[in-house]
Every structure is written in C-alpha cells, then in structure tokens.
Amino acid sequence: MHPNRAFAWEDREALLRFVADHPFAHIFTGSGEGLFVVHAPVLATDDGNVLFHVAKRNCIAAHLPDRQVLISISGREAYHSANWYASENQVPTWHYEAVEIEGVARALSEEELVDLLDRLSERFEQLHQPKQPWTRGKMEPGKFEAMTRAIVGFEVVPSEWRGTRKFNQHKAGEDLAATIAGQTEAGREDIVQAIGEVSATK
C-alpha cells in the first residue's frame, strides 16, 4: 500500500463493500518451491472472511493449505499528466484504489466447497441473469459432482486488511480543481467521481 497516510483507507465496512464490488483477485503465496499467484473470484462473508476456489491442477493449489496468502484487489485507476496541474514543477502520477488482505488459507471441506459454488453462482446470476438464473440443478446428474472434484476451495480469516485510495486528495484547491478538469477532459468520469468521494471524507 502507498506509504503516504493521506491515501490510507481503513473503513472496514467500505473495504468489504469494495471486495464485493470488485470480486476478481490476485492471490499470492510462497513456499520453498518459489512464489505463486492465481487469479480467481473471491467472496467476502458477512463476518469478513474471504472464500475462493482454484483448479487442483493449478500449480498454486498444493501450496495454499495452511499457508499465509496475500489477496490483492484493484479498482478504478488512471494516468494523470503533470500538464493538468495549476502549479509548476509537478510530475505525472497514477490514480488508483486497491485493497490487500492477508491471512492463512484453510482448505474447505467438500460440503463447504459446494456451498461456496452455490453462493458464487447465486450472487453473480442475480446480477447478470436475474430473470432466468443458472443453477447446478440444470446440469445432468453427476456432472456437477465430477467437475467439483477438479477444484479445491479455501477460506481466509484475515489477519490484516490494508486499503489505499490515491486520487490527489492531498492537493490544494487549484491543483485539485485542475485534477478534476484534466480527468474530465480525458473522459474519466469514474476518476472524477472517485476524487469527489475521497475529498468528501477529508
């Protein structure tokens, strides 16, 4: 996370909402055999735990159980030209928001894995296919069970959450206004919205 405390993001409820809204994560771990990363959707529970699954054939799968993992999730991001500032002697920068979660990965039981898969499909089907959501009941008998045997699920109880929102909220009035004008000209209304969000919490 960015070392400047002006960009620190520590509201746990907001971090949980961010994970729910940006569920695709990079998940890292390491062992004596090296460093590993997998890209997977995650599901944050109401109590703040994080669930995910990976293919058993993925090289990271054997290195996850009972090991420390780092889950990294990114949101809005954009380049910022130094030409957009009102002040002189500025440099280009990058706006971004990100959340990191650390904890030990516990392998799920078969029943817990099925529950995770049901919850994942229910959540995203309601978002993308609410009128006719897919369920595993639409599969031929035995197909779901066969495919489930090819994956393994994990739960992470976070030992630490870290968040950063870096959208020039540390800049003074003219430079902040110029930031907004520059991002507007670049067509990045999502970044303009983010600037408004972080400025409102100062």
Would you state the pLDDT for residue 108? 98
Neighbour-count burial for 131-170, b at 16+ CB within 10 Å, e otherwise: eeeeeeeeeeeeebeeebeebbbbbbebeebbbbbbbbbe
Would you state the pLDDT for residue 52? 98
Would you state the pLDDT for residue 18? 96
Would you state the pLDDT for residue 46? 87
Would you state the pLDDT for residue 29? 97
Q: How far apart are the first and last CA of the chain?
A: 19
**From CA 74, how far away is CA 194, in angstroms rounded?**
14
Would you state the pLDDT for residue 202? 62
Would you state the pLDDT for residue 92? 95
Phi, psi of 185 (to 5 degrees): -60, -35
**From CA 9, how far away is CA 5, in angstroms rounded?**
9
3-state secondary structure at position 17: helix
Would you state the pLDDT for residue 77? 97
> pTM to 2 decimals?
0.92
**From CA 41, how far away is CA 179, in angstroms rounded?**
33
List per-block mean pLDDT (blocks of 10 residues) for the chain, which spans 202 residues: 90 94 97 96 93 97 97 97 92 96 98 96 94 93 94 97 94 90 96 90 66
**From CA 112, how far away is CA 104, in angstroms rounded?**
17
